[in-house]
Chain A
Amino acid sequence: MILKAEVIAKRLEEGDTETADPLVISPQPDLDKLTESGSASVDLRLGTWFVTLRPTRKSHIEIEEKEIQWKLAKTHYVPFGEKYYLHPGTFVLGITLEWIRLPIGLGAYVIGKSTWGRRGLIIATATGVHPGFKGCLTLELSNVGQVPIEIKPGMKICQIFIHKVQYISSKYLDRTQFVGSRKPRLGEVSLDDIARKLGEAHHSNL
């Protein structure tokens, strides 16, 4: 069940005082405006940190490449008041200004805003936010249009839909590697046991 904005506002207000497992969006949106919006999402703003992938002497990104952040990523800081230009065909990681905390009983989806989508700006491709997540949300920004797009830290960039999650035990939480970060991160891809075993079987047949 997706939470309506007025419910989200109430949960945020409760989370601002002492509760054991609160929903938090910080900086907090204007709760009166949120309640009155009548929507079923909260707008999130663009943060100040960006990451681009830079050309290097490497031929490609390996599946289980370690320390890829140091090898391939170039970090940019764009202060409030300054602009960043997304040229057609470019891809950059951004981050939400807001630090989010989802309690155990809530999950979320982050999606773009239609006004940006109509200009060619795609916000995110991996949109699920699991219960228990804490941190800023990395946004995969790409301009699929034909005209350069200007973006500014602090502006509304995406929206988060929050929904209830059914659970039996609260002790199992998603252990994401992206928890607790204020900067966009590439993270590390790893093959699970099944993929590894299948890969080994393939080699043994050669």
Chain B
Amino acid sequence: MKSSQVNFEEADKKRIDVLMKYSRDRIKSVLDSIRQLKASEFPYGDSKDALCRIEELFENTLQRLDATDAHPDYIKQLCSISLRHLFIYLPKLGFILRSTNVRNAFETFGPLRDIARKALDPKVKLLLSSEWTYSPMIYHDIRALPGFVLIGLPASESSNPLLTPLCGHELGHAVWANKKGELENIIKNTFYEEAPEHIANNRNEYSELFPSIDKPDEKLGVNIFAFTRLLRALELLLKQAEECFCDFIGLKIYGTAFLHAFAYLLAPFVSSPRAITYPKLVKRVNYLVKAATKYEIKVPESYENMFEDRPEPQLSSMDKLLLSISDYILDKTADKLSSKAKSLISKTNIARPSDEESKRIRKRFELVVPASQCKSLADILNASWQAYHDIDLWKSIPDVLERKDQILKDLVLKNIEIFEVEQILNGGK
């Protein structure tokens, strides 16, 4: 063997050794962090369970990296996979840590997990966290955490039970993932049916952007250039449709309380350009109101007037056209999606919100006491919003009125806890 070849192999081995050391040390660091997190005070078992699963994943990776006699290519691949895991799972570890923070409304966990199990799978595990981002968010379909749903609400509102209905929207994303094929087919079919009409109505813009196509509406399916470009509109449409569908799921589960929570979160509008993967805000609210009518859910007075559209983003002519297609077809799809959300939730045994029940609970709130024998989380939350908006509530009790918002939150959370306690005692859980 020539000496240069020996040197090259030695250098290669050294490089692999360094890569291995980096990888091992990175994993050891994350495992140390996990061990520290395990000492946290967990509010429920699902959080700790998620942590243990991630620990197992990294321990297995470390064991595989310790097989030092493996082929360098295999080692390199392992190093790269372990690095990818760090990118994926470090944010989840932060999420798990924040799920233990006592600012969270832990009382909502049991009833929310019950809803998640009814909507998705009886074995679903749930993590609720408060995130330092204003947008509520969800992680699901995480490889190392099968069957886990992670929902985060804004940290500043983490102890506010009135925003719990927003979890319904987030849960909707997991429902969408479960029914993805079926739901996407509804949207794709509408897209192929309706896009030609939009093209026909906007022939000038199309001709300018697709000069090689004489009659773009007729050639949509056969002109590969136009079709490929138009697929971007379909991608936008699918994302927008998912957001609308999730709104419908939240609305169907929580009724009017969802509308209030939605407005609290987003009204009148965010003063930055519209995110193109979301419907226009005014349209989105309009779809919600139409769905509420279909679901026989009461819409708060002047509800739609609370919202305004965000400014449109600066887009190229092509993107503007594609976004207009997506907006146009969403308009044709929204009704189908609300029907689908309705039928999916109706098939589960999630209790429907009842006006009568929420009125009964609200009557108890007037006395500053929780209601007993509640039938659903939605009823408690609907009563809570009624109490929140009642300017006369507790007017005759000055010491309670002074701290109305805080006392209402505490009262609602206590009511949710009592709801769960009664379910446990009655053998319902």
State the A residues within 8 Å of B (CB): 16, 18, 22, 24, 26-28, 48, 75-80, 97, 99, 101, 132, 134-136, 173, 175-176, 179-183
Contacts and interface: CB of A to CB of B under 8 A. Distances in A.
A48 B106 contact: yes
Contacts of B414: 26, 99, 136, 182
A78 B42 CA distance: 8
Given A97-B421, A134-B369, A77 B399 contact: no
Contacts of B417: 48, 97, 182
Tell me if A's interface is mostly helix, strand, loop or mixed.
loop
B41 interface: yes
Interface string B349-371: 00000000000000100011110
Interface size classification for chain B: 20 to 34
A134 B43 CA distance: 26
Contact of B410 (A26, A77, A97, A135): A135
B413 interface: yes
Contact of B102 (A22, A24, A76, A80): A76
B407 A179 contact: yes
Interface in B412-428: 413-414, 417-418, 421-422, 424-425
Given A78-B41, A135-B407, 6 more contacts: A18-B363, A26-B414, A77-B41, A77-B102, A176-B399, A180-B407
A27 B421 contact: yes
A6 to B, nearest CB: 20
Tell me if B's interface is mostly helix, strand, loop or mixed.
helix
Interface string B362-406: 010001111010000000000000000000000001111001001
B295 to A, nearest CB: 30
Contact of A26 (B370, B399, B413): B370
B410 A180 contact: yes
A170 B413 CA distance: 29
Given A175-B398, A175-B399, A180-B407, A77 B43 contact: yes
Contacts of A16: 372
B369 A79 contact: no
B400 A182 contact: no
Nearest to A23: B369
Contacts of B410: 135, 180-183
Contacts of A18: 363
Interface in B22-78: 41, 43-44
